[in-house]
Structure 1
Amino acid sequence: MDTFACVASGPSLTAPDCKLLHEAGIATIAVNNSWEVVPFSSSIYAADCCWWEEYGAGITSKAVRWCGDEFTARRFGINWLPSAIPGSFNSGQRAIELAIHLGACRVLLLGYDCSIRNGTHWHGNHALLSNPDKFSVARWQDEFSRLRAVAGGVEIINCSRFTRLTCFPRQSLETALSL
């Protein structure tokens, strides 16, 4: 079974969890700035052109880089994954789509808090980019639910230590990695 991990930027993301992923040796997709805490990731996914403009040149990881639109892909010389899901989106949602595209049968989620109760990101607020607010958090619930509807037989497990995302089953990372 091909298991992937998608590591987003929620404040519940911990260094010990990232270490467990590294030790497990599973393919890992970092979402946006999370490449910094999972430098072993095989891919980095950021949907937004503005994120690549702000952070792209500073990435030291050799991970394959992916984005959400053709313009951004051409501009920064990175890979583009067209979405199978119409409508609004977020980078965490699209990272799961990437895992499925790359052959995942099972996807473990970390840092998918979908809440600003404990802060916006594990790295604090972006200085020059927009940060999550109550409106984006509400929108994410629908976006992840639409993804679940098209994920087919792919098992998606939310292993985030704190989460308000309810459309995927929950499990501790330790338990998910032991299966």
Structure 2
Amino acid sequence: MWVAPKLWPGETVFVLAAGPSTAALDLSLLAGRRVIAVKSAWKVWPAADVLFFADGRWWREKALRPGAADFAGLVVTTAPEVSDPRVKVIGRAMPCKALSADPAKIVLERSSTTGAINLAMHFGAARIVLLGVDAKPASDGRRHNHGLKWPWELRPGCWAAQIKEFSTIAPSAEKLGLEIVNANPDSAVTVWPRMRFEECL
């Protein structure tokens, strides 16, 4: 199993999730900043430093990851069945009650974004800015920012489960002195301060 190194001590890290709200953002402002893309969200910012996913099924489905083999950054997963030599496999801490302080493990249950937050913490982040953490569809019904067809039905209560998961880990982040802000003032995730993207830069 891979152990996460302290790559970015004291830095601000942007966690780019797949929520459709990022379509209205000028993501060119991320140039030169530390970015962890969650699953197919890397398609909207291919220059991300890290691609993180927890779902081995996502990695196997070529329809969901066209071009992922060309991603130039670090690829990390908690899916033990992934045996691609380019992918670093890190352990998964259970149950999902708090962020893991063990750099050989990250915690998550229903959201890869939780794992990306924990990974950023292991990398030494002092501040995490969440992008595309919407927990709801766009007004036009879009669920994602990457434009790829999602082959699985939306599970009832999936966003509520993610919101609950974020609320569960939030106290541990605060205890560890990790600042987290949500760069979507309209997000359904309210456990962290919501701000405009430009205010987070």
- Fold-level match, TM-score > 0.5? yes
User: Partners of 2:66 and 2:29 in 1: how far apart?
Assistant: 28
In structure 2, do the counterparts of structure 1 residues 35 and 117 end up closer, same or farther at CA, with 3 Å as the change threshold? closer
One-letter code aligned to 1:147? I
Task: Give the 5 Å matches for 1:44-123.
Answer: 44-55=51-62, 56=65, 58-59=67-68, 60-72=70-82, 75-77=83-85, 78-84=87-93, 86-87=95-96, 88-116=109-137, 118=139, 119-123=142-146
Instruction: Tell me which protein shows more helix as a share of its residues.
Output: 1
CA deviation vs aligned residue, 1:15-53 (integer Å, no higher than 9, x gap): 64311112xx21100111111111110000111001111
1:21–1:8 CA distance, 2 compared to 1 (3 A): same
Say yes or no: does 1:175 pair with 2:183: no
| Cα shift at 1:81 | 2.8
TM-aligned CA distance change 1:127 to 1:117, over 3 Å: closer
Q: CA RMSD, aligned part only? A: 2.0
Partner SS, residue 157 of structure 1: strand
CA contact (8 A) 2:38 2:53 kept: yes
TM-score, normalisation: structure 1: 0.86
The count of residues paired between Structure 1 and Structure 2 equals 172
Amino acid at match of 1:93: T
Q: Relative to structure 2, which stretch is displaced further, 119-128 or 108-117?
A: 119-128
Give percent identity, aligned residues only. Answer: 31
Secondary structure of the structure 2 residue equivalent to 1:100: helix
TM-score, length basis structure 2: 0.77
